[in-house]
Structure 1
Amino acid sequence: MDDPQADAWFTDVVREHSRALVRYFARRAPAQDAEDLAADVLVTAWRRRDDVPREAVLPWLYTTAGYTLANHRRKHTDLPVEEVPERATAPRVGDDPELSAIFDAEVRGALAAVGERDRQILLLNAWEGLDGAELAGVLGISRSGADAALSRARKRLREAWTDRLHL
């Protein structure tokens, strides 16, 4: 059954958020899988379109992306942060300055030194631009809890960065 309203909504979701999803996955999974993983999230959004909160589409997509990535990782071998390939071997990264930052050895080292949850919070904030209510929505916690978690994660990253500088 055709639903022009649902079709229009989904077209808008794809237009507004597909690039953000591809970038999300390109930062966390093998670059060659990013578009396929983003497509999986969008298929889920279409299938569950009645469950997607219209006022918080992007946080819902990021939450779903987190589950999609976890499933993908269970199926594949994880790549340690230290072994993320250099730019020349990841052609989809191209000259995008935001994505290029992942290849900086010092940043990778500091990120590797913090826990997985802290890393997730930091990357959602820095790379995906989530803050406050959106971050809380993705993490499934209160706004004040998200603010506190981000503050703690930033503190731990600063400590890891300082420790790396003194090596």
Structure 2
Amino acid sequence: MSSSPAEPVTADPDAPRDDAWFTALFHEHATSVHRYLLRRAHTDDVEDLTAETFAVAWRRRDDIPHGFELQWLFRTAGFLVSNHHRKKRATPVEELPERDTTIDPMHDVIDDEGLKQAFRQLSDRDREVLLLSAWEGLGASDNAGVLNISSNAASVALSRARSRLLHALDGDVSDTSSPR
């Protein structure tokens, strides 16, 4: 194995979806997927969810659109997190957590209490759009790939989510409850 970075997956659209392609996909995007999951799942589950995301990617490698690999991986990871949260896991009484585990762990990184409260007032969709933009660093076209909507719709969704967050920060909760 060489010490040079792997050739980007998006470099050759005609490359066969073989072991080398998958290795390059993994090396190029594993850290981003892991970070994405760290903000959405319990720390103890992140390694398994990351591995499961790439297992799905291997099984469905022919379905991954060229040039949108990261967006596809984020979307798949999001589905896996949603399914994971739906599962009921028994918690032994001896191991009760000290904090409220019903609150999404990604909210713990927000130190400003006002921002935290405003963020919690937003819909799940608005939070996801803002997080994809701010934390994952995705632009409108990349958000569109993750959310499975057009680039224009993603731009509008981001603009509206930012506006609702600003209203919530100002204490105007009426606009945060509007349909999305």
Gaps of 5+ in 2: 1-15, 90-100, 173-180
Tell me how far apart the structure 1 counterparts of residues 83 and 107 of structure 2 sit (CA, whole Å).
26
Tell me how far apart the structure 1 counterparts of residues 137 and 148 of structure 2 sit (CA, whole Å).
17
Query: Partner residue of 1:80?
Result: 103
Query: Partner residue of 1:154?
Result: 162
Whether the 8 Å CA contact 2:107–2:116 is kept in 1: the answer is no
Q: Is residue 2:54 matched to residue 1:42?
A: yes
SS in 1 for 2:170: helix
Q: Aligned Cα RMSD in Å?
A: 2.2
The CA deviation at 1:110 is 2.1
User: Which one is further off, 58-67 or 102-111?
Assistant: 102-111
Query: Partner residue of 2:35?
Result: 23
Q: Deviations over 1:30-57 (max 9, x none)?
A: 1111111111100000011111112110
Tell me how far apart the structure 2 counterparts of residues 121 and 76 of structure 1 sit (CA, whole Å).
27
The one of 42, 56, 68 aligned to 1:56: 68
Tell me how far apart the structure 2 counterparts of residues 134 and 162 of structure 1 sit (CA, whole Å).
29
Alignment of 1:125-136 (within 5 A): 125-136=133-144
* Runs of 4 or more above 3 Å deviation: none
Question: Higher Cα Rg: structure 1 or 2?
Answer: 2
Percent identical pairs in the alignment equals 46
Alignment of 1:100-139 (within 5 A): 102-106=109-113, 107-139=115-147
Whether the 8 Å CA contact 1:14–1:42 is kept in 2: the answer is yes
Query: Partner residue of 1:95?
Result: none
SS in 2 for 1:28: coil
Tell me how far apart the structure 2 counterparts of residues 60 and 5 of structure 1 sit (CA, whole Å).
15
Taking structure 1 as the reference length, the TM-score comes to: 0.79
Whether the 8 Å CA contact 2:17–2:62 is kept in 1: the answer is no
Tell me how far apart the structure 2 counterparts of residues 69 and 100 of structure 1 sit (CA, whole Å).
15
Q: Deviations over 1:55-98 (max 9, x none)?
A: 110010011111101110101476224xx4xxxxxxxxxxxxxx
Q: Deviations over 1:129-162 (max 9, x none)?
A: 1112111111111111100000000111111122
Tell me how far apart the structure 1 counterparts of residues 24 and 88 of structure 2 sit (CA, whole Å).
32
Tell me how far apart the structure 1 counterparts of residues 165 and 120 of structure 2 sit (CA, whole Å).
9
SS in 2 for 1:163: coil
SS in 2 for 1:41: helix
Whether the 8 Å CA contact 1:102–1:108 is kept in 2: the answer is no
The one of 121, 145, 161 aligned to 2:153: 145
